[in-house]
Structure 1
Amino acid sequence: MKKPSATIRDVAALSGVSVATVSKFINGTKRFTEPVEAKLKAAIEQLGYQSNPLARSMVTKETHTIGLTILDISNPHFTNVVKGANRVALRHGYTLLLVDVDENQARERPLIEALARRVDGLILSSRLPEDASEWLLDLDKPLVLLRRSEKLPIPSVGIDNRLATFMLTRHLLDLGHRNFAYLGIGQTRINDERIAGVRDCLAQQGLELDVHDVHAPTNRAGEQACSRVMLGPKRPQAVICYNDLIALGFIKAATALGIRVPQDVSVTGIDNVPYGEISAPTLTSVDTQSEIIGEIAMQKLIDALAGKSEIEHVTIEPCLIVRESTASCAQSGEPH
C-alpha cells in the first residue's frame, strides 16, 4: 500500500510551529530566525515533503512558467526559436508553456489572453498589425516581441530584414542576374521590410522588382506559386523567397516543370533551416540565427521579471549562406 504523502500539517507538527509559519517559509514570503528555519528544513527533509507548485503559485502569484507563442511549430525556424528560449528558461528554473497559433490571426488574441492568465511573462511571435495590437499592454505581464514594434513600448528581438534581402540581392546581382522576382506573404510588416531591402539594392542598378504573393509561408504555397511566376509574362532570372520553406517548395515545383535550378533560375530563401542543407540543390539562404533569437528573448524576459526591463530592440545581424541554388547567369545560356 502506497504511503501517503507528507502534508504541510505534518511538517508543522514535527517542527513544533504553526501551519501558517510553514506556509510562509515554503513560499518564501517571510524569513524566520535561524533555529526556526533549521527545524523547518530538518522536518521537511525527514518527511520528504514536497510543496504543491499550484498551491505555491496561488500564494506567491508566481508560476515560474513563461508563455511562448509561435506562428507554426512545423516551421524549423520557430522550432529553433523554442529550443533557444527553452535552454535559457531551464537554466533559470522556469518552465516553458508553448502555444502554436497555426498562422491564424483570428486565433492570436484569444490564445494569447488565455495563456497570459497562466504564466509570469510572455514571448510573442505575431502577425497582427501594430494598430491592432495595443491590447497587449492590457495583459499587465512582462512581454518580449519577436519582431520590432515602432508604436508599442515593448522590448523585442529580431533580425534586420531589410539587410537580409539586400545581401541576397547583391549576391544575385554579382552573379549577373537582372530580372528579379520576390515571393512573399502579403502586407505584413516583415514582408514589407524584405521587399524594401530588395528594392533598395536594385535601385542602385536602375532595376525593378516583380512582386508575387502566396497565401502562407509554407512549402505548399511555394509549389503552388511556381508556375505563375515562371510561366508568366515576366520570367525572372532570380527569385528571392520570403523564407526557406517557400523557396524549397518553389524549387520542387520548378523541377517538375522542367525548369533547372540554378541553371535556368537562381532561387534563395531566408532562415537557413536544416532542410536547405540537404535539398537538391542545396539552398542559398540568410541565417537568421533562430536559436540565438530565442535565447536573447528569454533572457530579456527573465530580466524583466527581475525588475531589470529595458524597452529596447535587439537586432541580430543576418549572415549570407551561399549554396547550390544560385549560380552565375552565364550558366543559364541565353538571358531571359
Structure 2
Amino acid sequence: MKKSVPTIRDVAAAAGVSTATVSKFVNGAQRFSPPVEDTIKRVIAELGYRSNPLAQSMITGRTKTVGLSVLDISNPHFTSIVKGANRVAQAHGYTVLLVDTEENPDRERHLLEALSRRVDGMLVFSRLQEAELGWLVEMDRPLVFFGRMPGLEMPTVAGDDQRAAYMLTRHLVTQGHRRFAYLGFSRSRRDEERRDGVRECLAAHGQQLTVYDTDSPSSLEGERICSSIMLGAEHPDALICYNDLMALGFMKAAQTLGFRLPGDMSVAGFDNIQFGNYSSPALTTVDLQSERMGATAMEKLLAIIDGKPTERCTRIEPQLILRASTSCRT
C-alpha cells in the first residue's frame, strides 16, 4: 500500500500546535519560542514533510523565481553571467527563469513583459536605448539592469568599459603600435564606451583611430570583414575588437589570408572568454568579470526583493589579460 504524503495538518497534530503556526514557521512569516520551533523542526524531519511551493507563493506572494534576460546565450560572456547569477539564486532558494532575446529588439519588450508576470524580480540585458526603456521602470517588479543607465532611476551592475578600453589601448601604445583600428558593433551601448576609451587614450598620444562597424558581435562577422581591413592599401598594425568572438573570427581569417599574428598585426578583444586562451596565438583581452557580474547583480536583486538597502550602481573593475596575440613593434 502506498504511503500517504504527510500534510501540514499532520505536522500540526504531531507538534501540538495549530496549522497556522506551522504555516507561519515554514514560510518565515513569524518567529516562535525556541521550544516550539525545535518541536516543529523535529516533527517535519520525522514525517518527511515538504511544503507545497504553490501554497507558499499564495501565502507569501512570492514565486521564489527570478527572471534573467540575456541577448545571446551562445555567447560565452552571457553564459558566464548566467552561471554567476544562478549560483547566487540557488544559494538563496530561488530558481532562475532564462529568456534569450536573440538580439531582437522587436520581440524584447513582449518577452520581458511576459517574464515579469511569472517572477519576483528580473535581471535585464537590453540593446534598447534609454529613451525606449521607461516602461521597464514602471513595471511593478524589482529590477536590476546590466550596463550604465545614467538617465533612468534604475539599479544597475556594469563593467567600466571605457576604462577597460583605455587600459588596453595604452598597453598597445607602449608596445610601439602607430596605426590603430577598432572593430565595433554600434548597436550596443557598450560599444560607444569602448570606442570612446580607445579614442581618449590615442588622443592623449596624438594618434588617430580608424573605425569599422559590423552587423553582429560574432566570430562570423569578424571573419567576414577581415579581408576588407587587411587587403587595403595599408592595414592597421593594431586592431581592437568589440569582443573576443569577433577577434577570434578575425584572426582565423587573417591567418588564412597568409598574415602572421602578431607579426603583421596585434589583435585584442574584450570579455576573456575561455576559447581565447586556447587560440593560436592566445588572445590578449580585457576580463570584465562576467561571472562575478552575474553574481553581483543577483545579490543586488535579492536584496531589493527583501526590502534591503543597496547601492544604485555597482561597478565591476576590469583586468587586462596579456597573451601572445599582441607584441612590441620592431
TM-score of the superposed pair, with normalisation by structure 1: 0.90
The superposition leaves residues 245-277 of structure 1 with CA deviations (integer Å, 9 ceiling, x where unpaired) of: 000000011111112211111111001111111
Aligned mates of 1:273, 1:313 — CA distance in 2: 25
Flag the 1:225–1:24 CA change in 2: closer, same or farther, 3 A: same
Partner residue of 2:197?
197
| Correspondences of 1:70-109 after superposition (within 5 Å) | 70-109=70-109
Aligned mates of 2:57, 2:227 — CA distance in 1: 55
Partner residue of 2:138?
138
Aligned mates of 2:2, 2:223 — CA distance in 1: 58
Partner residue of 2:316?
316
Structure 1 counterpart SS, 2:69: strand
RMSD after superposition: 2.2
Aligned mates of 1:273, 1:32 — CA distance in 2: 49
Aligned mates of 1:42, 1:169 — CA distance in 2: 62
Partner residue of 1:272?
272
Gaps in structure 2 of 5+ consecutive residues: none
| Correspondences of 1:107-186 after superposition (within 5 Å) | 107-186=107-186
Aligned mates of 1:156, 1:108 — CA distance in 2: 19
Number of residue pairs aligned between Structure 1 and Structure 2: 330
Deviation at 1:310, TM superposition (A): 3.4
Aligned mates of 1:30, 1:293 — CA distance in 2: 34
Structure 2 counterpart SS, 1:329: coil
Answer whether contact 1:22 1:40 (CA < 8 A) is retained: yes
Partner residue of 2:2?
2
Amino acid paired to 1:61: G
Flag the 1:192–1:13 CA change in 2: closer, same or farther, 3 A: same
| Correspondences of 1:214-233 after superposition (within 5 Å) | 214-233=214-233
Aligned mates of 1:33, 1:181 — CA distance in 2: 68
Structure 1 counterpart SS, 2:149: coil
Flag the 1:283–1:109 CA change in 2: closer, same or farther, 3 A: same
Partner residue of 1:244?
244
| Correspondences of 1:55-70 after superposition (within 5 Å) | 55-70=55-70
Answer whether contact 1:153 1:311 (CA < 8 A) is retained: no
Q: Percent identity of the aligned residues?
A: 55
Answer whether contact 2:68 2:124 (CA < 8 A) is retained: yes
Flag the 1:47–1:150 CA change in 2: closer, same or farther, 3 A: same
Amino acid paired to 2:329: C
Which stretch of structure 1 is more off in the superposition, 250-259 or 87-96?
87-96
Aligned mates of 1:281, 1:66 — CA distance in 2: 40
Deviation at 1:220, TM superposition (A): 0.9
Aligned mates of 2:12, 2:253 — CA distance in 1: 70
Deviation at 1:206, TM superposition (A): 2.5
Deviation at 1:170, TM superposition (A): 1.2
Aligned mates of 1:208, 1:37 — CA distance in 2: 70
Gaps in structure 1 of 5+ consecutive residues: 331-336
The superposition leaves residues 85-137 of structure 1 with CA deviations (integer Å, 9 ceiling, x where unpaired) of: 22222222222222222222222222222222222211112211111111111
The superposition leaves residues 164-206 of structure 1 with CA deviations (integer Å, 9 ceiling, x where unpaired) of: 1111211121222211111111143211111111111111232
Aligned mates of 1:282, 1:191 — CA distance in 2: 23
Aligned mates of 1:182, 1:172 — CA distance in 2: 13
Amino acid paired to 1:111: L
Amino acid paired to 1:247: A
Structure 2 counterpart SS, 1:269: strand
Deviation at 1:11, TM superposition (A): 4.0
Amino acid paired to 2:64: H
Deviation at 1:34, TM superposition (A): 7.0
Flag the 1:192–1:35 CA change in 2: closer, same or farther, 3 A: closer
Flag the 1:299–1:21 CA change in 2: closer, same or farther, 3 A: closer
Answer whether contact 1:156 1:312 (CA < 8 A) is retained: yes
Aligned mates of 1:20, 1:316 — CA distance in 2: 45
Amino acid paired to 1:287: D
The superposition leaves residues 191-228 of structure 1 with CA deviations (integer Å, 9 ceiling, x where unpaired) of: 11111111111112322211111111111111111112
Deviation at 1:143, TM superposition (A): 1.4
Aligned mates of 2:268, 2:62 — CA distance in 1: 45
Partner residue of 1:334?
none
Flag the 1:41–1:286 CA change in 2: closer, same or farther, 3 A: closer
Aligned mates of 1:266, 1:42 — CA distance in 2: 65
Amino acid paired to 1:179: R
Aligned mates of 2:256, 2:189 — CA distance in 1: 33
Answer whether contact 2:127 2:187 (CA < 8 A) is retained: no
Aligned mates of 1:36, 1:179 — CA distance in 2: 74
Deviation at 1:152, TM superposition (A): 1.3
